[in-house]
Structure formats: structure tokens, C-alpha cells
């Protein structure tokens, strides 16, 4: 039983179009530096899980498309790189602190689900995005996912 996740990103830094443009549409999801998010990513994410991409800190915050998890969790290499913004001197290869997974682009939504709209829909009243908006690795319920797909209609499923 695969899970559904929502990952937040600032489109100025790394957008869903940037993911799409990566070789094979695949990129490491690095830079998670929050323990609750880390724990979920490291302990609960599995290859094959579904990912919703959310754009934050931008003019139109929204769920903009889908990706899928294509690796098991592994240590985020940027924590060991002194020249990287993600460097953490407390991490060691024996005892890594931060983890990531690789994700692959699946689709962009024809109609992104704007945060504004999402807040207006009763189906999402108890969604983590509404209750715990700062958490960067969020769980999405199957019902919520179905409603999102209903509202957004992936571009690549036209008959």
C-alpha cells in the first residue's frame, strides 16, 4: 500500500518545471532540514509512493502537479559538503543527520489547486497543509488525493 505525500518547494528555487527538465525528470529532493520532516522522509517514505508538488512563497501558492518516489531514502550528500548551503558540521558519514529521496516528474495539473481554493473546500478542512502549513513533508489522505485530482485534471490524461 503506497502512501501519498505533499512536498513543498519555492518555485524560484526549484519548481515543478525544473524537476520536469531534469534528466529522466528525476532529481534528489535535498535540503530537508527539519526533524519532523526528516523522520517521515527517512522512516516512512518508500519507492513507489506518490508525491504532490506544492509551490510556496510565491504569488499563487498551489498544488501544481505530481511526482513519484523512485529511490529509497538515503543520506543527503549536501550535509557533508562544506561549500553547500545544506552543510551541517554535526553530520558524519557514520551518523548522517539529514536524508533525501529521488523523485521523478509525473504530470503538471492543467488547473493547479490554489491554496485559496483548497481552503474553501470542506474536503480539506483537516488536511495537514491547512493545519500544519509549515511542515515540509506532509501526508495526504486517499480521499484528499482523489478530490485534488478531481479538481485539477492532470494534463496528460485527456482521451
Binding site for DNA (CB under 7 A): 8, 10, 33-36, 56-58, 61, 115-116, 119, 132-136
Q: Spell out the alpha helix ranges (H) of the chain.
A: 16-21, 35-44, 115-120, 128-131, 142-152
Output 46 or 131, the one with its CB closest to DNA: 131
Output 57 or 153, the one with its CB closest to DNA: 57
Look at residue 8 and give its three-state secondary structure. Answer: strand
CB of 98 to DNA, least distance (A): 11
CB of 24 to DNA, least distance (A): 26
CB of 21 to DNA, least distance (A): 22
CB of 35 to DNA, least distance (A): 4
Q: How far apart are CA 98 and CA 158, in angstroms?
A: 39
Output 90 or 93, the one with its CB closest to DNA: 90
Output 2 or 18, the one with its CB closest to DNA: 18
DSSP string over 15-80 = -HHHHHHSGGGEEE------HHHHHHHHHH--TT-EEEEEE-SSSS-EEEEEEEE-S--EE-GGGG
Amino acid at each position: 500500500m503506497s502512501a501519498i505525500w505533499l512536498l513543498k518547494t519555492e518555485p524560484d528555487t526549484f519548481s515543478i518545471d525544473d524537476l520536469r527538465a531534469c534528466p529522466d525528470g528525476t532529481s534528489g529532493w535535498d535540503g530537508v532540514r527539519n526533524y519532523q520532516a526528516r523522520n517521515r522522509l527517512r522512516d516512512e517514505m518508500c519507492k513507489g509512493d506518490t508525491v504532490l508538488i506544492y509551490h510556496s512563497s510565491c504569488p499563487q501558492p498551489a498544488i501544481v502537479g505530481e511526482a513519484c518516489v523512485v529511490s529509497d531514502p538515503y543520506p543527503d550528500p549536501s550535509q557533508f559538503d562544506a561549500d553547500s548551503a545544506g552543510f551541517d558540521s554535526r553530520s558524519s558519514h557514520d551518523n548522517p543527520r539529514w536524508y533525501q529521496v529521488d523523485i521523478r516528474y509525473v504530470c503538471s495539473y492543467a488547473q493547479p489547486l490554489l491554496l485559496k481554493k483548497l481552503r474553501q473546500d470542506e474536503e480539506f478542512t483537516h488536511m495537514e497543509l491547512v493545519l500544519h502549513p509549515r511542515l515540509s513533508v506532509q501526508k495526504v489522505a486517499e480521499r484528499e488525493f482523489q478530490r485534488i485530482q478531481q479538481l485539477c485534471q492532470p494534463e496528460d490524461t485527456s482521451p
